[in-house]
Amino acid sequence: MFNPKSYLKKHLLAFIKNNLSSNNELQSDRETAVVERTLSMVRSEYTVMPRFGFHQPLDYYLDTLPVKFETPFKVEGEELPVPAPEDRMGYCPDDASEYLKWGLYDKNLIKSLVDRELAQDDSLNILDFGCSSGRVLRHFYSEAKNKNWKLSGVDIQARPIQWMREFMPSDFCVYTGSTLPTLPFPDNHFDVIYGFSIFTHIKFHWDMWLLELKRILKPGGLLIQTIHTENAWKYYYDNRDESWVINNHSAAMLQSREMIYDYFYYGDMSVSQVFWRREIAKKYWERYFTVIDVLQPPERSFQDWMVCRKA
Ligand SMILES: C[S@@+](CC[C@H](N)C(=O)[O-])C[C@H]1O[C@@H](n2cnc3c(N)ncnc32)[C@H](O)[C@@H]1O
């Protein structure tokens, strides 16, 4: 994880010592760039992203210019543009059709739960909590057109939301949120709120988030969220030699295949990893919702699903 203090020490102080001329002018574009970058990193840590309430803006420079997105892909048979690899936010960067398939698979899981749990499927108002660049939400476009569904999405990262704003039809009501547990929707507004791998990252205020999502759900509405349980714990343990596991997890949790704690919260800000034992997740979430199911991870995933209803 980036450490602004050591960055500052290493680059800025050395730079000042070695490079500033007696009249304190920066000597070259490169020197100016080093200072600019350092200051932007310091701002990112200490101003725009304080520990408990932040979002990730488009950048941390004083002048923020329009993002130069890579041209989205056109995929045969797909009506909507597909984000270029770097805008898929880690999901199948090398394979656009796999990206679409995976999103559709996840959408179908949500849709089957909606069909099972709600009496009607016309004119539903749904929110993708942590929608990123719309990997799953995009697949509800057919419901928006044919069944008058209203589609909303929120994410704390400005860039994927900007991507949506720039390339997706205006039927997608998307906006940048923050880690403060508040959303700009009225009470009793949504029929369904779903989220893929969001509560796996919400270490701070997860309980306030549940209450905020409850507030904006209609009575009888569904909350469907993936979580990490002992299943994910085992999955990470089994992959403990992979760099993507080592770099993002506590060494303490990679010691044993069994999850011996009731819960385990690791990390800071967006790298946080949150684990609850299945029965503990049910017990805790039941304080706020009726927990209909804690589903085992579906085929393509290692995350369990909380399926809840607002009474
Ligand atoms: C692992 S990614 C999953 C993205 C997307 N749900 C998907 O399945 O493609 C987690 C996402 O949650 C977002 N996120 C984390 N905390 C959030 C919060 N409190 N509110 C909204 N989005 C959040 C992150 O910015 C990130 O885009």
- The per-residue pLDDT string of the chain (311 residues; one tens digit each, 9 = 90 and over) reads 456 566 666 766 676 667 666 666 666 777 777 777 777 777 666 654 455 567 888 887 888 999 999 999 999 999 999 999 999 999 999 999 999 999 999 999 999 999 999 999 999 999 999 999 999 999 999 999 999 999 999 999 999 999 999 999 999 999 999 888 999 999 999 999 999 999 999 988 999 999 999 999 999 999 999 999 999 999 999 999 999 898 888 888 899 999 999 999 987 655 678 999 999 999 999 999 999 999 999 998 999 999 999 99
> Quick one: pLDDT at residue 48?
47
CATH 3.40.50.150 residue ranges in the chain?
85-309
Residue with the two structure tokens 């893929």:
196
The pLDDT of residue 219: 98
Taking CB atoms and a 6 Å cutoff, what residues make up the pocket around ligand 1? 89, 91, 129-130, 132, 135-136, 154-157, 177, 179, 196-198, 201-202
Cβ pair 294, 278 in contact under 8 A? yes
- The atom of ligand 1 lying closest to the CA of 133 is 9
Architecture of domain 85-309: 3-Layer(aba) Sandwich (3.40)
CB burial of 56-69 (b: ≥16 within 10 Å; e: otherwise) equals bbeebeeeeeeeeb
As a whole number of angstroms, the distance between CA 61 and CA 133 comes to 23
Task: Quote the CA–CA distance of 129 and 225 in Å, as a whole number.
Answer: 9
Report the nearest-CA residue for atom 16 of ligand 1. 198
pLDDT reported for residue 197: 96
Residue with the nearest Cα to atom 19 of ligand 1?
A: 179
Q: Which of 170, 136, 133 has its CA nearest to residue 150?
A: 170
What's the pLDDT score for residue 249? Answer: 87
Atom of ligand 1 nearest to the CA of 198: 12
Collapsing DSSP to helix, strand or coil, 163 comes out as: helix
Amino acid letter for position 104:
L
Q: Find out whether 190 and 221 touch, Cβ atoms under 8 Å.
A: yes
215 by Cβ neighbours in 10 Å (0-12 / 13-18 / 19+) ranks as: middle
Candidates 110, 132, 157, 194: which one to mutate for ligand 1, based on the most atoms within 8 Å of Cβ? 132
What is residue 34's DSSP assignment?
A: H
Cα(9)–Cα(11) distance, integer angstroms: 6
Comparing CA positions, the residue from 201, 192, 196 lying closest to residue 302 is: 196
Amino acid occupying residue 96 = A
CA angle in degrees (0–180, nearest 5) for 174-179-182: 70
The β-bridge partners of 226 are: 305
Place of tokens 């509405």: 221
Tell how far the Cα of 131 is from the centroid of ligand 1, in angstroms. 6
Q: What pLDDT score does 293 carry?
A: 97
Q: What is the pLDDT of residue 30?
A: 74
CA-based end-to-end distance of the chain: 41
